[in-house]
Amino acid sequence: MSDLLSVTRAMELVLGYAGTFGTETVDLEMAAGRVLQQTIRAERAQPPYDRVMMDGIAFRYGSDLPLLSHGTQRAGAPGQALPEGAACLDVMTGAVLPEGADTVVPVERLVRDGRMVRFEDGYEPRQGQFIHRRGSDCAAGTELLSGGRRLDGPALAVLAGNGHAQVSVSRIPSIGIVATGDELVDVGGPVRDWEIRRSNEYALTGALLSRGFNCIERSVVPDDLPLMMAALREQLSRHDVLILSGGVSMGAFDHVPRALSKLGVERVFHKVAQRPGKPLWFGVGPEGQRVFGLPGNPVSATTCGVRYVMPMLLAGQGLCRGKTHAVRLKAEAELIPTLTRFLPVRVGHDETGQAVAIPYPMPTSGDFSFLAATDGFVELPRGEGMAPRGTVALFHGW
Amino acid sequence: MSDLLSVTRAMELVLGYAGTFGTETVDLEMAAGRVLQQTIRAERAQPPYDRVMMDGIAFRYGSDLPLLSHGTQRAGAPGQALPEGAACLDVMTGAVLPEGADTVVPVERLVRDGRMVRFEDGYEPRQGQFIHRRGSDCAAGTELLSGGRRLDGPALAVLAGNGHAQVSVSRIPSIGIVATGDELVDVGGPVRDWEIRRSNEYALTGALLSRGFNCIERSVVPDDLPLMMAALREQLSRHDVLILSGGVSMGAFDHVPRALSKLGVERVFHKVAQRPGKPLWFGVGPEGQRVFGLPGNPVSATTCGVRYVMPMLLAGQGLCRGKTHAVRLKAEAELIPTLTRFLPVRVGHDETGQAVAIPYPMPTSGDFSFLAATDGFVELPRGEGMAPRGTVALFHGW
């Protein structure tokens, strides 16, 4: 098996075809979780005016006390002028600092007698206090966001605060999930003794949705070459990416590679030195469609989906950071001499912030029942014997 | 300030009102990311039959060679009987093991001459190999999923594989986000020198959506008591949770606590010993509505949203695990003697899997422009001087 493609090389080949799925403009309301594809600069200086930071009064530092309040500078109103002399204006948080004032005293420190205002005993304001100075956060035109990042809460706030009611983001590719396997029946119907319910499409859908890929069509094709070809031709015409599961092994009824080849999908590789997931197939269609043929076994399909399909899709969005980071194994784990091992694990952080992974070896790659107890898998390089407790490995989250 | 409520106590009070928002039944297609609220048991033994694991032939171990192939056991077909004598059946991955066979030899190991089949030179099958035994993953009725977990890919696959076309999940609460502040204008329109664009509602929306809370209505109320009361009465009648921002300070125009009180929303607390976010207000409405009054400053509003609102909402779904774990500071950070400090950070994992946080102190709590460069914040307990590099702190992700 040493002539099989390595995981690293297979991933390089897949990422070489990641390309891009283009960009589109969406309303800010719909942009949460999308990947930004433009540079966002400050619309104005931030803050755009000398901004009062506390409810209280604004006055000219050094004025004689008491101060006479000449009214209120509300937030959302143009700045008033502070009259000469021992004067102040009541101010609200967020208001413009009145012209002529240079210091704010919060309401908790004030003692009032009608319109006359003084400070509580012993209180000494600092000149300039509680004023958020115009432009102190940034000048107009400062770069605030750059392309290739997910739009989380703070980024959405920056877009809103700088007047971007619409925003350019990576287009989400259209993805077809295609199940094969005549033993498979749907979740809703009856199931006979020799049949199994289809589940891979749900595992893949879950992985896709949790990464923001929500343009998904699911379909089923039979293990029959002409019927499969007709169905796959249709799917290829509708989607940027096809994710097939099943039918990529060596059997007489494993029609997937044959059908794809006849449809002009060029094989990039078939089989990778890994377990589970050795029969993985990857190719590129006549119009650049990326086509993955995942093994049909549920653990294999889910693992290959997370290890290959998701990174390719994320790279196609312009993102390099997925659900991946280093972890330390909490128990030893058996290595495979000739194959990279993908070992399901439960992960967490200990009380010092060290990421740790508890191995959950699955008895067979057909056993998905207990995969739901795990958070993802670690990638163990080929090797002899055991990887000891404490080994650092790369974790991939479901 | 030592008589202010501690962060820990404030959180306890909030969680004390988390309660539940009920359950609902949804189609499996719509269940991704939802929180399961039922126990899922194996519909049948898994696998439900002795399942062939490789494409190849099935035979009776110890038969004389060559074997005569009597046809094909396809996947998705009832099990055939293997004839007596030196017989085999071609088998597909996923097929039922033919009755009378006990061993599978993969196609790569076979040498064929018409219907006669032998093994490649020197190949010695193990009796029972490549058969995934009925019930070896689990017996019928085995508990596979329990309530209170998010439905990720593997969990969705378990639901599908066990015939759950519909599933009981936590109801997502209806959430009203209410902005106050007369200086605030909308993202799409013109903005005058003394005005600022509304951004908190977008930051909160991003945080909510990334946690699966997609039942959100946004509205704006003016800084005027009667108008605010009318608007809040309407919002209270429509939502399980209200998240207000602004209007909770000490100013004459900070009408939020007054308006809520008049509407029968009982204050649980006002002000917490924390920075940013000291003016945080929390109360409970006449029909159990949870009402948060967040400070209007963007950094304060976003931080309080993540620190208090999100954990309450997640607890109300039956989840205890949020975007929270321990990290080590990569640089020293100044403590505040009387207040818990929420310090924005960028986080990552080093090459050993240690979670690390780089502090990004914000100049003021009004400065949100650079918050978008961070991943969340760490929580530093009140204290004197500096927390040294390497300090372990709790991280909360945006």
- Tens digit of each residue's pLDDT (9 = 90 or more) over B100-138: 999 999 999 999 999 999 999 999 999 999 999 999 888
How far away is chain A from the Cα of B342, in angstroms, using its nearest Cα? 15
How far away is chain B from the Cα of A64, in angstroms, using its nearest Cα? 24
Burial of A338 (0-12, 13-18, 19+ CB in 10 A): exposed
Residues 6+ apart with CB under 8 A from A298: A199, A200, A203, A365, A366, A367, A368, A371, B157, B161
Strands B110-113 and A266-270: unpaired
A133 sits in the region (left: phi over 0; alpha: psi -120 to 50; else beta) called beta
Contact B69, B29 (CB under 8 A): no
Q: What is the pLDDT of residue B223?
A: 84
Q: What is the pLDDT of residue B253?
A: 61
Which of A137, A223, A350 lies nearest to residue B363, judging by beta carbons? A137
Q: What is the pLDDT of residue A366?
A: 58
Question: CA-CA distance, B312 to B249, in Å (whole number)?
Answer: 23
Q: What is the pLDDT of residue B10?
A: 98
Instruction: Please list every residue in chain A whose beta carbon sits closer than 8 Å to the beta carbon of residue B162.
Output: 197
Q: What is the pLDDT of residue B372?
A: 93
Q: Which residue of B has its CA nearest to A188?
A: B165
CB contact under 8 A, B155 and A205: no
* Helix orientation angle between B310-317 and B200-210, rounded to the nearest 10 degrees: 30
**What architecture is the B51-132 domain classified under in CATH?**
Beta Complex (2.170)
B372 sits in the region (left: phi over 0; alpha: psi -120 to 50; else beta) called alpha
A234 sits in the region (left: phi over 0; alpha: psi -120 to 50; else beta) called alpha
CB contact under 8 A, A202 and B156: yes
The domain made up of A7-22+172-317 has a fold known as Molybdenum Cofactor Biosythetic Enzyme; Chain A (3.40.980)
How far away is chain A from the Cα of B53, in angstroms, using its nearest Cα? 8
Question: CA-CA distance, A295 to A302, in Å (whole number)?
Answer: 9
* Helix orientation angle between A7-16 and A310-317, rounded to the nearest 10 degrees: 40
Q: What is the pLDDT of residue B368?
A: 75
Q: What is the pLDDT of residue A222?
A: 86
CB contact under 8 A, A200 and B157: yes
The domain made up of A25-42+145-170 has a fold known as Molybdopterin biosynthesis moea protein, domain 2 (3.90.105)
CB contact under 8 A, B193 and A78: yes
Which of A154, A183, A349 lies nearest to residue B203, judging by beta carbons? A154
Q: What is the pLDDT of residue A323?
A: 86
Q: Which residue of B has its CA nearest to A305?
A: B153
Question: A116 has which bridge partners?
Answer: A68, A113
Strands B216-221 and B175-180: parallel
What mean pLDDT is reported for chain B? 94
Say which DSSP state A373 is in: G
Q: How confident is the model over A310-344, as pLDDT tens digits?
A: 999 999 999 977 789 999 999 999 999 999 999 99
Instruction: Please list every residue in chain A whose beta carbon sits closer than 8 Å to the beta carbon of residue B55.
Output: 249-254
Contact B2, A179 (CB under 8 A): no
Residues 6+ apart with CB under 8 A from A288: A17, A19, A240
Q: Which residue of A has its CA nearest to B109?
A: A250
Is CATH 3.30.1370.100 correct for B25-40+143-170? no
Instruction: Please list every residue in chain B whose beta carbon sits closer than 8 Å to the beta carbon of residue A128.
Output: none
What is the interface size between A and B, counted as CB pairs within 8 Å? 380
Instruction: Please list every residue in chain A whose beta carbon sits closer than 8 Å to the beta carbon of residue B46.
Output: 367, 369
Phi, psi (degrees; rounded to nearest 5) at B87: -120, 155
Residues 6+ apart with CB under 8 A from A9: none
Q: How confident is the model over B60-84, as pLDDT tens digits?
A: 999 999 999 999 999 889 999 999 9
* Amino acid in the structure at residue A307: R
Q: How confident is the model over B282-339, as pLDDT tens digits?
A: 999 999 999 999 998 899 999 999 999 999 999 999 997 778 999 999 999 999 999 9
Q: What is the pLDDT of residue A307?
A: 98
CB contact under 8 A, A199 and B158: yes
Q: Where are the domains of chain B?
A: 7-22+172-317, 25-40+143-170, 51-132, 324-397
The tens-digit pLDDT sequence of chain A (398 residues) is 458 999 999 999 999 999 999 999 999 999 999 999 999 999 999 889 999 988 899 999 999 999 999 999 998 899 999 999 999 999 988 899 999 999 999 999 999 999 999 999 999 999 999 999 999 888 999 999 999 999 999 999 999 999 999 999 999 999 999 999 888 899 999 999 999 899 999 999 999 999 999 999 999 998 889 999 999 999 999 999 999 998 887 666 678 999 999 999 999 999 999 999 999 999 999 999 999 999 988 999 999 999 999 999 999 999 977 789 999 999 999 999 999 999 999 999 999 999 999 999 876 655 677 899 999 999 999 999 999 999 999 999 99
Instruction: Please list every residue in chain B whose beta carbon sits closer than 8 Å to the beta carbon of residue A72.
Output: 252
pLDDT band at B1 (very low <50, low <70, confident <90, very high): very low
Instruction: Please list every residue in chain B whose beta carbon sits closer than 8 Å to the beta carbon of residue A195.
Output: 48, 76
CB contact under 8 A, A325 and B302: no
Q: How confident is the model over B178-225, as pLDDT tens digits?
A: 999 888 899 999 999 999 899 999 999 999 999 999 999 999 998 889
Question: CA-CA distance, A294 to A246, in Å (whole number)?
Answer: 6
Which is more confidently placed, B223 or B30?
B30
Instruction: Please list every residue in chain B whose beta carbon sits closer than 8 Å to the beta carbon of residue A369.
Output: 42, 46, 137-138, 142, 144, 158, 161
A6 Cα distance to chain centroid: 27
Classify domain B324-397 at the CATH superfamily level.
Answer: MoeA, C-terminal, domain IV (2.40.340.10)
